[in-house]
Amino acid sequence: MRATLVIPTLNEGTSIGHVIDTFLAAAGEANPRLFGKDPLEWEVVVVDGASTDGTAEIARKAGARVIAEPRKGYGRAYQTGFAAATGEVIATSDGDSTYPVEEIPRLVRLLLDAPLDFITCDRLTKLDTNAMTREHRVGNWVLNYVIRIAYHHYLRGAGGALADSQSGMWVFRRSILDRVTLTQDGMPFSEELKIEVLRNGLRFLETPIVYRERWGAPKLSSWRDGRHNLEFLIRKRIAMGRGGTAPPPGAAADRPAY
Ligand SMILES: Nc1nc2c(ncn2[C@@H]2O[C@H](COP(=O)(O)OP(=O)(O)O)[C@@H](O)[C@H]2O)c(=O)[nH]1
Ligand SMILES: [Mg+2]
């Protein structure tokens, strides 16, 4: 079975080589142990946003297919990466060495066996507080709280709440991309994807992982991105409340066809 790991990068030259090496070593080791006669054939797709620190070359040397996506945004990078992915299963990670990419093969096994449609990794339950700034932790708490209250009706598939609505490590079946409406080019993409999976009644699991301290400078601004994420949650909930599945205001007009 083919599988794709998609990683968005913006100047992650200090860590991207390590992330890809760690992942490919784990994937190679896990294949005979977890997948036997049907090994996963992995491709790593790095969607690079005009990095100036050699990220693209380092990623290519480490074995990734690099796609240049000069348009700004975390969500934009993922929309481009998903459209380019050839795997039946897609996994994701930041390029900053925070996520335990070595866990991905085990999560794919779980996705196929359970069976599930979408797994998201929860950073907060086991969080070492050094791995996240206080602003970031408070912001996450506020967003999770708002989702629990405002989206209560839609969270049955997640047991009533999301522990970590902003997590960026997911493992899912490519086929779900035909069922969800993804419109966000920026950081709200992460919460949009999870809400869409739940809203459509897809088989969902949130599972705790160990999240590590970042290598290199953060690209997220806690307050600005936190505010955008909050505004998006409110706009989307209002649109859903009207019974509409139409994209909320600000949706990208040029969404790729999956
Ligand atoms: N291609 C691309 N990648 C981005 C952009 N903004 C952030 N990223 C990448 O997306 C991932 C998540 O960003 P990060 O700063 O780690 O956010 P945080 O983990 O929420 O603090 C990282 O690998 C970034 O390099 C962008 O505009 N374009
Ligand atoms: Mg990160």
Digit-coded pLDDT (tens) for 1-31: 999 999 999 999 999 999 999 999 999 999 9
Residue 207 forms beta bridges with which residues? 121
Digit-coded pLDDT (tens) for 238-258: 999 865 444 444 444 333 433
How many residues are listed for the chain in this entry? 258
What's the CA-to-centroid distance between 216 and ligand 1, angstroms? 11
Task: Indicate which residue's Cα is closest to atom 21 of ligand 1.
Answer: 220
CATH of domain 2-241: 3.90.550.10
- pLDDT for the residue 242: 67
Task: Indicate which residue's Cα is closest to atom 12 of ligand 1.
Answer: 94
CA 93 to chain centre: 6
CA–CA distance, 65 with 112 (Å, rounded to integer): 25
Q: Is the CB of 8 under 6 A from ligand 1?
A: yes
CA–CA distance, 177 with 100 (Å, rounded to integer): 24
Stretch 76-104: mean pLDDT, rounded?
98
Q: Which of 15, 74, 137 to mutate to test the pocket of ligand 1 (most atoms within 8 A of CB)?
A: 74
Ligand nearest to the CA of 217: 1
Digit-coded pLDDT (tens) for 53-62: 999 999 999 9
The full set of domain ranges for the chain reads: 2-241
Digit-coded pLDDT (tens) for 107-147: 999 999 999 999 999 999 999 888 999 999 999 999 999 99
- Strands (E) in the chain, as ranges, are 2-9, 41-48, 65-68, 89-92, 118-122, 170-173, 204-208
Q: Which atom of ligand 1 is nearest to the CA of 48?
A: 1
Q: Is the CB of 40 under 6 A from ligand 1?
A: no
What's the CA-to-centroid distance between 37 and ligand 2, angstroms? 35
Ligand nearest to the CA of 6: 1
How high does pLDDT run on average in the chain?
93
